[in-house]
Every structure is written in structure tokens, then in C-alpha cells.
Amino acid sequence: MQTITSTQHRNALRAAPPVVLPSLLLCDFGNLEREIRQLEAAGVRGLHLDVMDGHFVPNMTYGLTMVSTLREITDLPLDVHLMISNPGDYLKKYVDAGADLLTIHAEAVDDPRPLLEEIRSLGAGSGLAINPPTSVASIEAALPLCDLVLAMSVMPGFGGQAFDEVALEKLDDLRSRVPAETLLEVDGGVNSKTIAACGSAGAQLLVVGSAIFREPDYAQAIANLTQLAGSEN
């Protein structure tokens, strides 16, 4: 594989939004490389990895090994979302494993700014996520240090939740507060019924799980979602 820097990956994601990012939680882990090849063939422009620790959120998923494995088998940008306590203990490890964008939760730290600065110093894009109850105003001081801001449209760690439209208000608010180069992302309950509103509100990166992996044709699903995401812009 060719060597592509994290900066090049971020620039590629910024170049032509909207970008539908498959969340790998629902992929077939027994055939991981086959899944990645199918997603590459379907034209995806990046992959989203939800890291859960069973403490900050009630569920546990995968960690460093999954990130490093994916880095070995694909050149796609890896957008790593840390839903963990004490994220500062793991930033270098995840960047070394291959994260191009690394997102921490505002709710997991007293002050996200030193961690965002560290992520940037390590060469990755710095991301900050906020849960539905967390206001945009509460993270305003950290926004200049963010390469990405993620508005959660569900509470992380719980399955089967309805899309919370408060994320749309936050995306619209964020677009007026951050520089044009800052990526805005939405995650949780994003599907064919909700993705158009997300795109209209300003989301450039749209994290999708079941609306891709529960469809028989990944390419068709991604093409449809991408078209819907840009339909109201």
C-alpha cells in the first residue's frame, strides 16, 4: 500500500462532502478483510471505529488491535471515536496504531484542550464529541483546537435509540462558530430517513451503521445515502 499521511487523509475528506462513513460495529468480523474490500469497492472514503471501554459507556467493543489491523489492510482514512474514560492515557497509542482522526468526548475530561493539542502534536486530526445533553457553548473555548466536532444524535453505548434532532440544532450552531476547514460529523441513528436533514444542517461526515451493513448491496446503499445527504444542500 502507498503511504498516505493523516493530513492528506483529512484534506481528502474535506474536499467533497458529504462523506458517508461506515461504522464497523456491525460488520462481519469473521471476514474483516473481505468486508473492507467490499467497502472499498463500494466507494467509501473512510472508516469509522467506535471504541468503547465498558466504563465511560456501558458496552465494550474493540481497541488498539482493531485499529492497527485495519491500518495494515487498507489505505482508507481511519476516523477513531474514543468513548472511553481517561482518553489522555491512550492518545499516542491510537495515533501510533493508525488513527488519522482521533475524537475524544468532552464529557470524559475536565478540559479537552490539552488533549486536543496533544493529538495534533502527534500528527492526527483532533476531534471533540458532545452527547445530546451537552451544549455547544460548553465547548466553545476548545473549538479553535478542533479539526473535527462530532454531534452525537444518540447517547453513546446504547443500541436501538431514536435519532435526537438536537444534533441538527448543534450542527447548525457549530457551522457558524468554527472555521470552514473544521469538519462537522454526526453519529447515531443516521439512516435514509434522517441523513438528508443532517446534511442540510451542515454535517460533512455522516456515520452510518445498519443502513449499510444490513443492506445486501453496500455500493447501492452508500450511493443512495450520499445522494440523500446532499439533496437539501
Q: What is the mean pLDDT of residues 19-42?
A: 95
Establish if 195 belongs to a structural domain.
Answer: yes
DSSP state of 10: H
Percent helix, percent strand, percent coil in the chain, to nearest 5: 45, 20, 35
Establish if 214 belongs to a structural domain.
Answer: yes
Q: Which of 79, 89, 187, 217 is catalytic?
A: 187
Say whether 50 is catalytic. yes
State which amino acid sits at residue 199.
G
Establish if 163 belongs to a structural domain.
Answer: yes
Say whether 217 is catalytic. no
Q: Estimate to the nearest angstrom the gap between the alpha carbon of 60 and the chain centroid.
A: 17
Establish if 1 belongs to a structural domain.
Answer: no
**Helix or strand holding residue 208 (H, E):** strand 205-208
Name the nearest CA neighbour of 50 among 187, 220, 202, 218. Answer: 187
Q: Which of 50, 53, 79, 164 is catalytic?
A: 50
Q: How far apart are CA 69 and CA 117, in angstroms?
A: 26
**6-20, 80-94, 105-119: the lowest-pLDDT one:** 6-20
Question: What pTM, to 2 d.p., does this model score?
Answer: 0.94
pLDDT tens digit string along 57-91? 888 788 899 999 999 999 999 999 999 999 999 99
Task: Match 479539526 to its residue by C-alpha cell.
Answer: 147
> From the CB of residue 121, how many other CB atoms can be counted at a distance below 10 Å?
12
Q: How far apart are CA 88 and CA 157, in angstroms?
A: 20
Split into its structural domains, the chain has a count of 1
Q: Give the chain's largest Cα–Cα span.
A: 44
State which amino acid sits at residue 113.
R
Indicate which CATH number applies to the domain containing 157: 3.20.20.70
For residue 121, the enclosing domain spans: 6-229
Do residues 218 and 42 make contact, with C-beta atoms less than 8 angstroms apart? yes
Do residues 146 and 178 make contact, with C-beta atoms less than 8 angstroms apart? yes
pLDDT tens digit string along 171-214? 999 999 999 899 999 999 999 999 999 999 999 999 999 999 99
**4-8, 29-33, 106-110: the lowest-pLDDT one:** 4-8
Do residues 48 and 213 make contact, with C-beta atoms less than 8 angstroms apart? no
Establish if 160 belongs to a structural domain.
Answer: yes
